[in-house]
């Protein structure tokens, strides 16, 4: 039958596309019954895999690489990364792929890792957590032939597949909520200005101020790394400006900032209200509970794997951009119950 695709074969055999692909590529992790069923459909339809796909398949390692631009200590202190890695690992297990993890914290690490991950036949595809402006590793892998998905919007998106949440509009919703509660002096502890996540969440904050005719006060804006200690130090700088509420670019930042507020003899939310971003398990439970933006970190990791496998099996000509939904979670730290 002319024009048959692997999806057609999978449908006729009653299996998923990835399972049909494993049979075509002679992957060992397929049951005898399923293998026989798919092969029978292939024989009956005279299906012929695409030549380029066969060439790629002959060099498959069934291994996906994950590069995180973080040190080992940061990997386990920021709850985002363990949850993301769990989602990726679970999806790899379900799809019968092996996951290789690479941590990159210095330029020297980049120079050592890039030749390894780009070596033909070593990895079938690569997931990379979006880095910072001038990230030479991302620049390098995007120019290579290896199938690639960036987790988090990269600075340059043309021809690059990536997955993220809508950081701007999610932040806009959160800050609008603070405005609706009557707060006028709303500050922010923004993420790093050399990262897209820091830039986008700051844009959402500034857009809310503009939409609500509130002035931009530089004394209410401090930049921070995504750590509890940096959030604590940033809040110490903000306290003299007497903010009524704070949008923190992550929950871990908010956790440190709330600690600084309490040590200054102030109360949350009576003196300073808080909204964070992530809604992932924190090392210490915030008191009061933190109002935040929930992003689906675990599912984001799984979807990144699924997208990468699509690129591996179907080719990388058409880039994918996937934006996943967030959810605004109202708890006690914003003072909503008190204001209402």
Backbone angles phi, psi at 216, to 5 degrees: -85, 115
C-alpha–C-alpha distance, residues 244 and 292, integer Å: 17
Tokens of 163: 């997955």
Domains of the chain: 6-57 (1.10.260.40), 63-165+297-324 (3.40.50.2300), 167-295+328-339 (3.40.50.2300)
Bridging pattern class, strands 327-329 and 291-294 = antiparallel
Tokens of 303: 């979807």
Distances (CA, A) of 62 to 32, 75, 99, 188, 294: 19, 25, 9, 44, 32
Strands (E), 104-218: 125-129, 148-151, 161-165, 186-190
36 falls in which pLDDT band (50, 70, 90)? Answer: confident
Q: Is the predicted pLDDT of residue 55 greater than 50, yes or no?
A: no
Backbone angles phi, psi at 328, to 5 degrees: -85, 125
C-alpha–C-alpha distance, residues 208 and 14, integer Å: 50
What is the DSSP code (8-state) at residue 329?
Answer: E
Rounded mean pLDDT, 325-332: 97
Percentage of the residues of the chain whose pLDDT score is greater than 70: 89
C-alpha–C-alpha distance, residues 101 and 181, integer Å: 44
- For the chain, how long is the longest CA-to-CA vector? 77
C-alpha–C-alpha distance, residues 325 and 29, integer Å: 33
Q: What is the pLDDT of residues 171-227, one digit of tens each?
A: 999 999 999 999 999 999 999 999 999 999 999 999 999 999 999 999 999 999 999
121 falls in which pLDDT band (50, 70, 90)? Answer: confident
CB-side neighbour CA atoms (13 Å) of 241? 21
C-alpha–C-alpha distance, residues 23 and 3, integer Å: 19
H-helix or E-strand spanning residue 323: strand 321-324
Specify the pTM: 0.79
Tokens of 58: 């002959």
Nearest alpha-carbon partner for 23 in 4, 56, 49, 51: 49
Are 293 and 324 within 8 A, CB to CB?
A: no
Nearest alpha-carbon partner for 189 in 237, 147, 141: 237
17 falls in which pLDDT band (50, 70, 90)? Answer: confident
C-alpha–C-alpha distance, residues 246 and 174, integer Å: 10
C-alpha–C-alpha distance, residues 235 and 229, integer Å: 10
Question: Listing from the earlier edge strand, what are the strands of the sheet with 63-68?
Answer: 98-103, 63-68, 125-129, 148-151, 161-165, 321-324
């Amino acid at each position: 039958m002319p024009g048959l695709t692997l999806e057609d074969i999978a449908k006729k055999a009653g299996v998923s596309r990835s399972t049909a692909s494993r049979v075509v590529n002679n992957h060992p992790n397929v049951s005898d019954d399923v293998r026989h069923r798919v092969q029978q459909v292939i024989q009956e339809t005279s299906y012929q895999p695409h030549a380029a796909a066969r060439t790629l398949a002959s060099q498959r390692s069934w291994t996906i690489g994950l590069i995180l631009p973080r040190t080992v200590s940061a990997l386990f202190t920021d709850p985002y990364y363990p949850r993301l890695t769990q989602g990726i690992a679970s999806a790899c297990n379900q799809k019968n792929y092996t996951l290789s993890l690479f941590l990159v914290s210095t330029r020297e690490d980049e120079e050592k890792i890039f030749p390894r991950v780009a070596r033909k036949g070593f990895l079938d595809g690569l997931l990379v957590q979006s880095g910072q402006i001038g990230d030479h590793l991302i620049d390098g892998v995007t120019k290579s032939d290896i199938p690639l998905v960036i987790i988090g919007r990269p600075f340059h998106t043309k021809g690059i597949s990536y997955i993220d949440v809508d950081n701007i509009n999610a932040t806009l919703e959160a800050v609008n909520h603070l405005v609706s509660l009557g707060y006028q002096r709303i500050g922010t502890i923004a993420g790093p200005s050399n990262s897209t996540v820091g830039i986008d969440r700051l844009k959402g904050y500034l857009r809310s101020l503009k939409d609500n005719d509130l002035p931009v006060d530089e004394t209410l804006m401090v930049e921070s790394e995504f750590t509890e200690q940096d959030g604590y130090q940033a809040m110490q700088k903000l306290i003299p400006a007497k903010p009524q509420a704070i949008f923190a670019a992550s929950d871990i930042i908010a956790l440190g900032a709330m600690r600084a507020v309490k040590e200054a003899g102030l109360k949350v939310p009576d003196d300073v209200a808080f909204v964070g971003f992530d809604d992932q398990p924190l090392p210490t439970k915030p008191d009061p509970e933190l109002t935040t933006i929930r992003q689906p970190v675990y599912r984001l990791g799984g979807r990144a794997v699924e997208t990468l496998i699509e690129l591996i099996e179907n080719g990388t000509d058409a880039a994918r951009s996937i934006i996943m939904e967030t959810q605004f979670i109202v708890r006690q730290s914003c003072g909503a119950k008190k204001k209402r």
